[in-house]
C-alpha cells in the first residue's frame, strides 16, 4: 500500500516538473518574441534554442541523480503528446515570428526600439523560409506523432 502511494507521488512530482518545464519554455518563447520584435534576432533564437533542446529537464535529472533520487521526468515530447502545446508552437509561435518579420519590413523599423538590432533589407524576405519550414515540420510532426500514438494505443487495446 505504501509503495503504491509513493509510486503515485513520484509520478505526480515528475509530471509537475515536466509541466513546469513546458511553462518555462512558453515563457522563454514570449521573451524571445520580445527580443525578435526589437531586432535582437540572435538573442531571441538563442533563448528559444536553450529552452527547446530540453536543457532544463536534463539539468533537473542530473541534479536528481547526483542526490541519489530515481525519478524519471517525462520529456517535452511526452508531455506535448497529451496536450496541444506541441501543435500550438508550430501553428502560433512560428507564424507570429514571420508576422513580426513582415511588420518590421513593412514599417522599415523594428517594433520595439532597442539597440543591437539585426538589420534586414526589404528584399531579405527569403529569411522567412527557414521559419516557415520549421513551422510546417513542427506542425506536421505533431499530427504524425499523435496519429502514431493513437494507432499504438488502439493496437495495445486490441491485444
Per-residue pLDDT tens digits for 4-55 = 667 777 777 777 777 777 788 888 888 888 888 887 788 888 888 777 767 7
**pLDDT score, position 17:** 78
Give the angle 144-102-106 at the CA atoms, nearest 5°.
165
**Model confidence, pTM:** 0.57
Residue located via cell numbers 529537464: 57
Distance CA 30, CA 26 (A): 6
CB 35 within 8 A of CB 41: yes
**pLDDT score, position 114:** 60
Strands (E) across the chain are located at none
Extents of the domains making up the chain = 2-158
Of 138 and 122, the structure prediction assigns the larger pLDDT to 138
Helix (H, G, I), strand (E, B) or coil at 73: coil
| Nearest C-alpha neighbor of 94 from the set 65, 59, 134 | 134
pLDDT at residue 102 greater than cutoff 80: yes
pLDDT at residue 154 greater than cutoff 70: yes
**pLDDT score, position 80:** 65
**pLDDT score, position 63:** 81
Distance CA 155, CA 159 (A): 7
Per-residue pLDDT tens digits for 56-78 = 777 777 887 887 877 777 666 66
Amino acid at each position: 500500500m505504501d509503495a503504491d502511494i509513493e509510486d503515485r507521488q513520484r509520478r505526480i512530482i515528475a509530471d509537475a516538473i515536466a509541466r513546469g518545464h513546458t511553462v518555462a519554455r512558453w515563457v522563454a518563447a514570449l521573451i524571445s518574441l520580445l527580443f525578435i520584435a526589437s531586432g535582437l534576432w540572435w538573442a531571441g533564437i538563442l533563448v528559444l534554442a536553450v529552452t527547446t533542446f530540453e536543457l532544463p529537464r536534463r539539468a533537473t535529472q542530473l541534479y536528481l541523480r547526483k542526490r541519489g533520487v530515481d525519478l524519471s521526468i517525462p520529456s517535452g515530447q511526452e508531455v506535448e503528446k497529451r496536450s496541444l502545446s506541441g501543435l500550438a508552437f508550430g501553428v502560433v509561435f512560428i507564424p507570429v515570428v514571420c508576422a513580426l518579420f513582415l511588420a518590421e519590413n513593412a514599417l522599415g523599423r523594428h517594433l520595439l526600439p532597442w539597440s543591437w538590432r539585426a538589420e534586414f533589407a526589404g528584399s531579405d524576405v527569403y529569411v522567412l523560409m527557414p521559419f516557415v519550414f520549421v513551422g510546417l515540420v513542427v506542425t506536421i510532426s505533431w499530427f504524425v506523432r499523435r496519429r502514431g500514438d493513437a494507432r499504438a494505443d488502439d493496437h495495445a487495446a486490441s491485444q
